Amino acid sequence: MSPTLCTAFSGEVNPNACDQNQGSFPTVGPDGTLYVTFGNGNTPTAGVNQVLFVKCAANKDCSSASNWSSPTRVGQLFDFQPVGPSAAGCPGGRTCLPPNGYRLDDFVTISNSVDRNGNLFVTWSDGRNIAPNCQGSAATATSPCDNDVFYAYSTSGGASWSTAAKVSPAGSAQWQPWSKVTSDGKSLWIAYYDRSYGSCETTGCNDITAVEVKNPATASPSMKVTRVTTSSMPNLTPANNPVQAGFLGDYMWVDVDSKGRAHIVWADTRGKGNANDPPEEDVYFATVK
C-alpha cells in the first residue's frame, strides 16, 4: 500500500494499511477484469477522506489478496456535513443535511462503471463546498447546504484519474448519487437526490435529478439535466413519520440499456398525506431518454 494514500488510523501492523473502508462496489469489465471502488478514511485530516480504486485481472484468482492491484486515489471525499443527533431525526453520530434528518453516508454512495473500451467512471457526493452555517452540530446547523455530486474518469485502466468534475448546481444539496456509463462510452448517466427545486432547500423536500454527461471521458464534456420526479417528495420528520424519519436508504440505482436510456430506481416519500396514507417511503422507477 502506498504511504501517500493511507497514512493514519490503521489498526494493523502495517501503518500504511488501507483498512478503514466502506461502500465497496464491484464492476466486471468487458475482458473480465474486476474493478472495485470504495471510501477510505486512512487520512491524516479529519473530514477529508478519499475514494480508492483497486482491480484484479481476469486471468487471476481474485480470492487471493496478492492478485489485486495496489489502490489508486480516484479523488478526495470531504465529509464536512453536520453531525447528529437533531430534532429533525438525524441519528446520533451520523451526518445529515438540515432541515432533513436523513443520515448521509458518502462512503456508501460511490458507484463505478466501465465502457467497452475499458474507460472507467466513478461517481460520488461530498461536502467540500458546504459553508460554516451547515457544519458542526446538526441540532444547530441551518440550510443552505451546498452538498455536491462529482465524477472522475480513467483512460489508463485506473492507473491515473482525471480531476473531479462537478455535475450538480451550486447553492443547494445534492446527495446519494448513482451512475452508469453506456457501453459505447458516449454518455454517463448520473442520478441523485436534489433540493434545488422550489423551496426544498429550506423545507427539506426532495426530488430526483438525472444528468446525462455526454463525452464524459474528455476534457470538454456537455451535460443535459432532467428533473425525474413530477413533484417534490416531502421531508420525513419525527412528527409525520416517527418510524421512518432519519433514514432514506443507503443508495439508489441506475442502469442503462442498448438504446442509451437510463433506468432509475429510488426511495420516495410521496404518500397521499392523509391519515390513511401519510408520507412514507416507497420504491419508485422511471426511464429517462
Domain ranges of the chain: 21-288
Reported as a single tens digit per residue, the pLDDT across 234-256 is 999 999 999 999 999 889 999 99
Query: For the residues 9-33, what does the mean pLDDT come to?
Result: 92
Place 271 in a pLDDT band, splitting at 50, 70 and 90: confident
Query: For the residues 256-263, what does the mean pLDDT come to?
Result: 97
Would you state the pLDDT for residue 273?
61
Would you state the pLDDT for residue 249?
87
Reported as a single tens digit per residue, the pLDDT across 139-153 is 999 999 999 999 999
Query: For the residues 178-185, what does the mean pLDDT come to?
Result: 98
Model confidence at 98: pLDDT above 70? yes
Average the pLDDT over each of 32-36, 179-183, 223-227, 272-276 and give the range with the smallest value: 272-276
Would you state the pLDDT for residue 1?
43
Place 177 in a pLDDT band, splitting at 50, 70 and 90: very high
Place 45 in a pLDDT band, splitting at 50, 70 and 90: very high
Model confidence at 76: pLDDT above 70? yes
Query: For the residues 169-179, what does the mean pLDDT come to?
Result: 98
Reported as a single tens digit per residue, the pLDDT across 186-197 is 999 999 999 999
Residue 34 CB partners (closer than 8 Å, separation 6+): 26, 27, 28, 55, 56, 58, 62
182, three cell numbers: 453506456
Query: For the residues 259-272, what does the mean pLDDT come to?
Result: 93
250, three cell numbers: 443507503
- CATH fold for domain 21-288: Tachylectin-2; Chain A (2.115.10)
Model confidence at 2: pLDDT above 60? no
Which carries the bigger pLDDT value, residue 43 or residue 277? Answer: 43
Q: What is the mean pLDDT of the chain?
A: 95
Query: For the residues 121-126, what does the mean pLDDT come to?
Result: 98
